[in-house]
């Protein structure tokens, strides 16, 4: 034992003979030349199976590289509880209920981040419930939906990080109007408040107004829009969906 010990101690010495080299290096085997076994049958079969799986997957979800399809037809979201949203058919009840049901359907795309109950995710996605951005004027909300937000944003006294809110301008005017109405009614504590209602016409006006906007909004840009600014458009009757009273004049406020 002591013999070996001595041999190893002078590892540091330059140009020593082989026996001086430390044991770890000495006992090391050579790196054998790589084997040239041809690829056998079973890996080829496994590879073919994997390729079929991958190609089938892309065939099913890939939509032939179409840029306008965001949700594959094969993607089935979790079923919703009965009685909320959905297409019931028959007597559809008051206009506002259908409008909100439509909004709830659209909200399914928002719920991934803002959560089904509008509570957001602490530290990541701001809540809609109790958010000053939601129950204020409609112009800010319209602007946000159409162009998205980037950078930090203070919501209900909490600052949220930089997970950006994407623009949703690919949705139709009607879908945006419905989802804003839904969010204001449900999470803005404006249920049965006519001011919660946003119409297709209003979103059309917002699209025109912000058409020159490039990129997403930052917090300071949004704050430049007055907190109580409403989108121009006629107020509608929640029962019928038809413009009420003064029509165009009511929009000017």
Partner 1 sequence: MSLDLNQATSEDIRERAAIDRSVRWPVLFFFTSAAAWLAVATLLGAVSGLKLSLPRLWESCPAMNYGRLFPMHMIALVYGWAMQAGLGVMIWLMARLTRNELKNSVTIIVAGHIWNFGVSIAMLAVWFGFGRSMPWLDFPAWIAPILFVGYLMTTLWLVPMFKARRAGEVYISEMFLLGAAVWFPWIFATSVLLVGDDGSAVMSAGTNGWYMANLIFLWFVPIGLASAYYLIPKIAGRPVYSYPLAKIGFWSLIILAPWTGFNRFIGGPFPAWIPAISGAATILLLVSVLATAINFWKTVKGDSKAKLWENSPTLRFTMFGALMFVMYGVLGALSSYFSFSKVLQFSHFVIGLDTLAVYGVFSMMIFGAIYYIVPRVTGCEWPSGKMIRTHFWFSTYGIGTVVLTMLLGGFAQAGQMNQWDSSFILSVEVGNRWVVGRIIAWLLITFSNLGFFYQLALMFFGRGRRTAGATLMPESAH
Residues within window 102-121 making contact with partner 1, judged by CB under 8 A: 109, 111-112, 115-117, 119-121
Rounded to an integer, what distance in angstroms lies between the CA atom of residue 153 and that of residue 156?
10
Binding to partner 1 (CB under 8 A) within 66-95 occurs at 66-72, 74-78, 80-81, 84
Q: At what angle do helices 95-107 and 173-186 cross, to 10 degrees?
A: 100
157 binds partner 1 (CB under 8 A): no
Residue 130 interacts with partner 1 (CB under 8 A)?
no
Tell the smallest beta-carbon distance from residue 205 to partner 1 (Å).
24
**Which of residues 45 and 227 has its CB atom nearest to partner 1 in the complex?**
45
State which of residues 106, 128, 165, 197 lies at the interface with partner 1 (CB under 8 A). Answer: 165
Q: What is the DSSP letter of 1?
A: -
Q: Which member of 86, 94, 161, 226 binds partner 1 (CB under 8 A)?
A: 161
| Beta pairing partners, 125 | 121
Contact flag: residue 98 with partner 1 (CB under 8 A)? no
For tokens 């049901």, name the residue. 101
Tell me which residues in 169-188 interact with partner 1 (CB under 8 A): none
Q: Give the interface size with partner 1 as a residue count (CB under 8 A).
A: 83
Of the residues 94, 124, 189, 248, which one makes contact with partner 1 according to CB under 8 A: 124
β-partners of residue 236 are 243
Q: What is d(CA 201, CA 230) in angstroms, rounded to the nearest whole number?
A: 13
Q: Looking at 33-41, 93-101, 183-191, 205-213, which segment touches partner 1 (CB under 8 A)?
A: 33-41
Residues 195-234 that bind partner 1 (CB under 8 A): 216
- 126: nearest Cα among 181, 183, 50: 183
* Minimum distance of partner 1 from residue 164's CB (angstroms): 3
Cα–Cα distance, 106 to 179 (Å, whole number): 6
- Look at the chain and count its residues: 253
Of the candidate spans 29-37, 138-146, 177-185, 235-243, the one that interacts with partner 1 by CB under 8 A turns out to be: 29-37
Contact with partner 1 (CB under 8 A) among 98, 150, 169, 200: 150
CA dist., res. 116 & res. 107, Å (int): 8
Contact assessment for residue 113 and residue 125, using Cβ atoms and an 8 Å cutoff: yes
């Amino acid at each position: 034992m002591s013999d070996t010990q001595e041999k190893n101690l002078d590892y540091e010495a330059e140009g020593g003979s082989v026996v001086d080299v430390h044991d770890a290096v000495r006992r090391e085997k050579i790196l054998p030349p790589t084997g040239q076994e041809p690829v056998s049958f079973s890996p080829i079969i496994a590879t073919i199976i994997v390729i079929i799986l991958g190609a089938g997957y892309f065939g099913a979800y890939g939509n032939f590289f179409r840029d306008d399809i965001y949700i594959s037809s094969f993607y089935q979201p979790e079923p919703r509880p009965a009685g909320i949203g959905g297409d019931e058919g028959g007597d559809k009840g008051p206009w506002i209920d259908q409008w909100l049901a439509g909004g709830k359907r659209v909200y399914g795309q928002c719920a991934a981040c803002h959560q089904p109950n509008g509570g957001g995710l602490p530290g990541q996605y701001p809540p809609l419930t109790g958010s000053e951005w939601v129950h204020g004027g409609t112009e800010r909300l319209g602007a946000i939906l159409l162009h998205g937000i980037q950078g930090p944003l203070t919501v209900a006294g909490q600052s949220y990080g930089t997970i950006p809110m994407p623009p949703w301008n690919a949705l139709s005017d009607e879908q945006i109007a419905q989802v804003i109405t839904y969010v204001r009614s449900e999470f803005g504590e404006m249920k049965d408040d006519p001011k919660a209602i946003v119409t297709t016409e209003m979103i059309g006006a917002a699209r025109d107004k912000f058409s020159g906007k490039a990129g997403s909004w930052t917090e300071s840009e949004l704050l430049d829009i007055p907190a109580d600014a409403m989108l121009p458009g006629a107020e509608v009757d929640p029962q019928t969906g038809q413009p009420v009273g003064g029509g165009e004049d009511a929009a000017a406020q």
